[in-house]
C-alpha cells in the first residue's frame, strides 16, 4: 500500500491474535508500516531542524528604503504558525519614512489586524541607545513597526518616522522577531 500521508491519514488493518499471517500478509504489514514511517520522516525532515526549517525571504518595504543597507530576513513555518526574524542595518543610502511596514513571507489568517505579534529592538549607533520595537499586524500581508513611548500616564505605541524615536543614520539597526497564524 502506498501511503496517503501527509495529504490524508492512512488506514491500516491490525491483525488480531487469531489472524493468520496472510490477511493482510506479514510482508504487506511491514511494507505498509515502512511506507508510513518514511512519509513521517520525510515530512519532519532530518538534522537539528526536524520540524520546520528557516528559509530566507526578502520582504517589500513601505515608507522605508533599504538602499545599501543590509537585510537578513528568515521565517520558519510549523503547521499554521509562522515565525519570523528580520534584521536591518541602515547604510548611507537608506532612509526611514513615517510608519514603516514590510510584507509577510506567508499570508496571515484574517482578523489578526492590529495585534502586536512580537518584539524587537532599535539601535541608535551614534548614541549606543537601544529602544523597543513592536511589530503590529496591519493586514493579512503586512506588519507595521512602532516604538513605545512613555510620555503620558501609560506606555503607548508611537509612530516611527525619520526622527522618531531618534534621527536614523548609517549604522542604525532594527531587529524584530514575531509570529502569526498562517491563512
Q: Where are the domains of the chain?
A: 1-44, 55-181
Q: Is the pLDDT of residue 53 over 90?
A: no
pLDDT at 8: 77
Mean pLDDT of the chain: 87
Q: Is the pLDDT of residue 79 over 60?
A: yes
Q: Is the pLDDT of residue 46 over 80?
A: no
pLDDT band at 28 (very low <50, low <70, confident <90, very high): confident
Distance CA 175, CA 121 (A): 5
pLDDT at 33: 77
**Any bridge partners for residue 96, and if so which?**
64
Q: Is the pLDDT of residue 43 over 70?
A: no
pLDDT at 48: 54
pLDDT at 172: 98
What DSSP element (H or E) covers 29? Answer: helix 26-44
Report in angstroms the alpha-carbon separations of 20 from 14, 24, 27, 97. 12, 8, 12, 74
pLDDT at 58: 98
CATH 2.60.90 corresponds to the domain 55-181: yes
Q: Residues 34-63: what's their mean pLDDT?
A: 78
**What pLDDT, in 10s, does the model give residues 88-147?**
999 999 999 999 999 999 999 987 666 788 999 999 999 999 999 999 999 999 999 999
Amino acid at each position: 500500500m502506498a501511503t496517503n500521508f501527509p495529504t490524508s491519514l492512512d488506514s491500516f488493518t491490525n491483525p488480531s491474535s487469531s489472524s493468520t499471517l496472510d490477511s493482510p500478509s506479514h510482508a504487506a504489514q511491514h511494507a505498509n508500516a515502512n511506507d508510513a514511517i518514511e512519509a513521517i520522516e520525510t515530512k519532519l525532515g532530518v538534522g537539528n531542524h526536524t520540524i520546520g526549517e528557516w528559509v530566507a525571504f526578502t520582504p517589500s518595504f513601505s515608507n522605508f528604503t533599504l538602499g545599501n543597507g543590509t537585510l537578513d530576513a528568515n521565517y520558519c513555518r510549523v503547521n499554521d504558525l509562522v515565525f519570523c526574524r528580520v534584521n536591518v542595518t541602515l547604510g548611507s543610502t537608506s532612509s526611514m519614512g513615517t510608519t514603516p511596514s514590510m510584507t509577510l513571507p506567508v499570508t496571515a489568517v484574517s482578523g489578526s489586524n492590529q495585534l502586536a505579534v512580537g518584539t524587537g529592538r532599535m539601535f541608535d549607533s551614534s548614541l549606543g541607545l537601544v529602544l523597543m520595537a513592536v511589530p503590529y499586524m496591519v493586514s493579512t500581508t503586512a506588519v507595521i513597526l512602532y516604538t513605545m513611548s512613555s510620555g503620558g500616564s501609560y506606555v503607548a505605541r508611537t509612530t516611527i518616522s525619520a526622527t522618531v524615536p531618534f534621527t536614523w543614520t548609517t549604522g542604525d539597526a532594527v531587529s524584530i522577531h514575531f509570529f502569526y497564524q498562517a491563512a
